[in-house]
Amino acid sequence: MEKSKKHIPFEISITMLEAIELDIRNKNDSSLLMQFSELHYADIAEILDELNLFQATYIIKLLDSEQTSDILAELDDDVREKILENLSAKEIAEEVKELDTDDAADILSELSPERKENVIAQIDDKELVADINELLEYDENTAGGLMAKELVKVYETWTVAGCLRKIRLQAENVKRVHSIYVVDKANKLIGRLSLKDLLISKNETKISDIYIPKVDYVHFNDDDEDVARLMTKYDLEAIPVVDDEKTLLGRITIDDIVDVIIEEAEKDYQLAAGITQDVDSEDSILALTKARLPWLFLGLIGGVGAAIIMGNFDSIIKDFPIILLFTPLIAAMAGNVGVQSSAIIVQGLANDDIKGSINNRLIKEMFLATLNGVVLAVFLCGFIYKFWDQDIQTSLAVSVSLVAVIIVAGIVGTFIPLFLHKRGIDPAIATGPFITTSNDIFGILIYFIIAKFILNI
């Protein structure tokens, strides 16, 4: 069936960009305002990411701060940073006032300390300043760093009717109402109330009679990835954040968690691919080089190490150069097996899926590697002996080594992430070049030792 057209996601066309650039050049503001009035702020942010700094700033200054605040929050960090440099403290303050407190704090935290103070000084809403200052205190990778101060809360002593009245007031500042949090006199979280329950209850009912005392919550100091795991597991769309006394501080919504999940997945993927920093394909060549060179350098050192090891086996080089032809094969297999087994462990750790002891895990991997290794070695041995017409000793030297190397690579790939995790280090760093390189060296050393032994030299 053909897909209907309307719902196809927004896509930037070159024609559209050219029209916008022309309008900016001609200062045709009315045409620009018309074009942008129809667009979602996330789409406008995408367009601004494509324009140059002058053009992007022009659009931001042209549009209304209600719209631009959301656009700014959505922009790529580096584009936003540059645009903010072109705005006055007063202009930034106007934007910040329109945003939810969490986005406001995120943007302010990117400014220099001095600039930040100037912007905050321009905000006259005392309560907002207090909220933002509080949020700026939290570590960005914790629940406190993710939460917003906007939420709907009711006191247990209220009635449904009174509650609806108060909620109507509070709700005007809250973009989306998820759960309603119930607190006691001291502002301590004691439960929640779903909007649905509120809608289907009688007006005179007391909140204390209908609220649900079982409520999931997190501490402001909890790690953002733990919050993501919790919300995903329990299918929560919002979660309240409390302090040590269970005082209700704010709430985290699922859209922020989706960002955490995506970022985390991208980071792990990049680490596995040997990219050290968060880069994307649109970044400058210098930024990309900085992100890629360190692991390549590690690979180079590994390669030199492997060459030095081989250089020490004179007898093999002189009498059995055919052994040297299989070093890339051995190294590649060691690398592949290491990456496979470490990736499974890293993913299992991320999903809290790894049960049982390290020893059991290593024994399982040993069986697995042996099974894989023997299958591959039989094939390889047959090939070298039958089709390449080598003597049985050479064929055995290569294939027996292959089994040994695969087993060691599997064990190293399993052990390193588990070990790092135990030490509190992100195991994702272990996959990719780190495992590949160490396995290359190990693999070749094992290969040459076994070959030397089997060839009896």
- Interface positions, 293-322, toward a second copy (CB under 8 A): 293, 295-297, 299-300, 302-304, 306-307, 310-311, 317-318, 321-322
Structure tokens given for 80 = 């936003």
Residues contacting residue 161 through CB under 8 Å, at least 6 positions apart: 203, 204
State yes or no: residue 391 binds a second copy (CB under 8 A). no
Q: Which of 332, 358, 449, 455 binds a second copy (CB under 8 A)?
A: 332
Q: Which is nearer to a second copy, 33 or 329 (CB)?
A: 329
Q: Which of 274, 403, 405, 445 binds a second copy (CB under 8 A)?
A: 274
Q: Where does this chain touch a second copy (CB under 8 A) — which range of 106-114, 118-126, 127-135, 261-269?
A: 261-269
Stretch 343-382 residues interacting with a second copy (CB under 8 A): 343-345, 347-348, 351, 353-355, 361, 364, 367-368, 371-372, 375-376, 379-380
Q: Which of 149, 432, 434, 445 binds a second copy (CB under 8 A)?
A: 432
Least CB distance to a second copy at residue 151 (A): 13
Stretch 29-48 residues interacting with a second copy (CB under 8 A): 40, 42
State yes or no: residue 98 binds a second copy (CB under 8 A). no
Stretch 199-258 residues interacting with a second copy (CB under 8 A): 199-200, 216-219, 221-222, 226, 229-230, 232-235, 237, 242, 244, 254-255, 257-258
Least CB distance to a second copy at residue 457 (A): 15
Q: Which is nearer to a second copy, 82 or 229 (CB)?
A: 229
Q: Which is nearer to a second copy, 114 or 199 (CB)?
A: 199
Q: Which of 28, 225, 383, 455 binds a second copy (CB under 8 A)?
A: 383
Residues contacting residue 287 through CB under 8 Å, at least 6 positions apart: 277, 279
Q: Where does this chain touch a second copy (CB under 8 A) — which range of 59-67, 82-90, 123-131, 262-270?
A: 262-270
Least CB distance to a second copy at residue 361 (A): 8
Q: Which of 174, 190, 362, 449 binds a second copy (CB under 8 A)?
A: 174
Structure tokens given for 260 = 């955490």
